[in-house]
């Protein structure tokens, strides 16, 4: 597989995508010898697949909702082949990415679709790159099942939500087969700004859960701060301005805070709250296994659970603040 690395200074063949000194993304283009597979075209998967196409790739895709697959094909004439099963994707491609929303979806598509399941398409040398966020046990089960059929498995969960997926600024946290990581480094650079290989299968998943545990705890703390400020006749936007000027300034608060204020309450889903709570739950379970106490994360998880019970599961994770506004 050859790759053309393009900048405003000209073109040449390079082995790795990168950013310019100014911080702007240079363009990595692929001249692939064959199509890649992509399974799962949801909030994250669709823009990830689009970025692979933008880099010159051709894709074979499957999604539970056929409308998403058809839309991607319509927007990219001649670049997308839509097939009828996960099995067919993997049979047609040497490398297949999957981006599925829940462990239940992974279980159904990898193991539970009978003779059309993803695993039925795996044969010697096929490479599976799973970008879903699972438990380490579930990720290892997928890796073992792929290996039993002669394939190679790389877990590659991402840090980032809808906008980073659209702009190619995800962070990939990888574990498993190192040769697969090395081979797809350019593809990862089309979809993300940085990729880490962290070791055996399970290490990427553990890092993702730790990262999302911290994010969920931060969102819970910001929710409490905004709720307390507004309840004591302080201006919520002024609170956000103060935070942004000090040591607690961070992109998460800047991106989410304004939409959490009482007069905005805009929770269009970039990272659905139900998925954030799932990751918090998995992180708490991981902490139990490691015998690590996490009182802050455990309390934050309870706030997310409360928001889910009040009907905010499909809203953005920033809707966790509504658990504090609703009278119990």
Q: Is 7 helix (H, G, I), strand (E, B) or coil?
A: strand
Token pair 């905005």: residue: 264
Q: Which of 285, 26, 308, 267 shows the shortest CA–CA distance to 161?
A: 267
Q: Which of 271, 297, 270 shows the shortest CA–CA distance to 282?
A: 297
**Integer Cα distance of 95 and 281 in angstroms:** 31
Q: Which of 37, 152, 41 shows the shortest CA–CA distance to 87?
A: 37
Q: Which of 175, 176, 127 shows the shortest CA–CA distance to 149?
A: 127
Catalytic one among 208, 256, 264, 327? 208
Q: Which of 3, 48, 60, 47 shows the shortest CA–CA distance to 28?
A: 3
* 179 contact partners, CB below 8 Å, separation of at least 6: 152
Sheet of 10-13, strands arranged across: 10-13, 2-7, 27-31
208 is catalytic: yes
Task: Determine contact, residues 158/170, Cβ cutoff 8 Å.
Answer: yes
**Which tokens in the block code for residue 210?**
């730790």
Q: Which of 245, 228, 215, 210 shows the shortest CA–CA distance to 321?
A: 228
66-to-39, 69, 83, 84, 90 alpha-carbon distances in Å: 12, 5, 10, 9, 18
So which residues are the catalytic ones? Answer: 208
């Amino acid at each position: 597989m050859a790759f053309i690395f393009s900048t405003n200074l000209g073109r040449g063949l390079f082995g790795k995508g990168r950013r310019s000194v100014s911080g702007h993304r240079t363009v990595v283009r692929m001249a692939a010898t064959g199509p890649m597979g992509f399974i799962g075209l949801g909030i994250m998967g669709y823009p990830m697949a689009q970025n692979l196409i933008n880099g010159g790739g051709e894709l074979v895709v499957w999604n539970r909702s056929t409308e998403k697959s058809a839309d991607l094909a319509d927007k990219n004439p001649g670049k997308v082949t839509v097939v009828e099963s996960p099995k067919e994707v993997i049979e047609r491609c040497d490398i297949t990415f999957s981006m599925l929303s829940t462990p239940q979806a992974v279980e159904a598509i990898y193991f539970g679709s009978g003779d059309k399941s993803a695993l039925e398409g795996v044969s010697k040398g096929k490479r599976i790159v799973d970008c879903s966020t699972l438990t380490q046990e579930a990720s290892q089960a997928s890796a073992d099942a792929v290996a039993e059929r002669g394939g190679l498995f790389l877990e590659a969960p991402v840090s980032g939500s809808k906008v980073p997926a659209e702009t190619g600024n995800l962070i990939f946290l990888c574990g498993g087969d190192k040769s697969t990581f090395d081979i797809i480094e350019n593809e990862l650079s089309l979809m993300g700004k940085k990729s880490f290989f962290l070791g055996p299968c399970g290490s990427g998943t553990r890092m993702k859960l730790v990262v999302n545990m911290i994010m969920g705890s931060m969102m819970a703390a910001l929710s409490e701060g905004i709720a307390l400020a507004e309840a004591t006749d302080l201006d919520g936007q002024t609170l956000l301005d103060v935070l942004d000027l000090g040591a607690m300034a961070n992109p998460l608060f800047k991106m989410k805070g304004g939409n959490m204020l009482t007069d905005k309450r805009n929770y269009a889903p970039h990272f659905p709250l139900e998925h954030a709570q799932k990751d918090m739950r998995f992180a708490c379970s991981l902490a139990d296994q490691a015998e690590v106490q996490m009182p802050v994360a455990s309390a934050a998880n309870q706030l997310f659970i409360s928001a889910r019970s009040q009907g905010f599961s499909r809203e953005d994770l920033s809707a966790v603040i509504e658990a504090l506004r609703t009278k119990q």
